[in-house]
Amino acid sequence: MGKRPNFGGMGMGNMQGLIKQAKKMQQQMEAEQANLATQEFVGKSADDMVVATFSGDRKLKDLKIDKEAIDPDDPDMLQDLVIDAVNKGIKAVDDATQASMGKYTKGLM
């Protein structure tokens, strides 16, 4: 009978416990990601002239443009309003994702 392998002081019970803990954490992360995907996040431009609505998985679901934002003589203004609303919507998704998932990735980067 030979010696058992030495896992740096870790017995097999500890290794199984770590694996079980990792699986549980993975399940929790998947549940939180699924929850985020069901939520809606909104980005609004100045004076709410453009409103962009995103799902938690960063897909644009709706884009509302106020008719006052449509000036045929100034298309750049509309472009800027759309860009502003879209960027704010994506930031809202990213902030919520970081708040929800950050506890799992804290210290990894």
Structural domain that includes position 63: 31-106
Q: Which residues contact 39 (CB under 8 A, 6 or more apart)?
A: 55, 56, 96
Which tens digit of pLDDT belongs to each residue from 39-81?
Answer: 999 999 999 999 999 999 899 999 999 999 999 999 999 999 9
pLDDT score for 64: 98
Residue whose pair of structure tokens reads 């709410």 in the numeric block: 48
Q: Which residues contact 56 (CB under 8 A, 6 or more apart)?
A: 35, 36, 37, 38, 39, 40, 41, 93, 96, 97
**Does residue 22 form part of some domain?**
no
**Does residue 66 form part of some domain?**
yes
Model's pTM, two decimal places?
0.71
Return d(Cα 28, Cα 45) in angstroms, integer. 35
Task: Write the CATH number for 45.
Answer: 3.30.1310.10
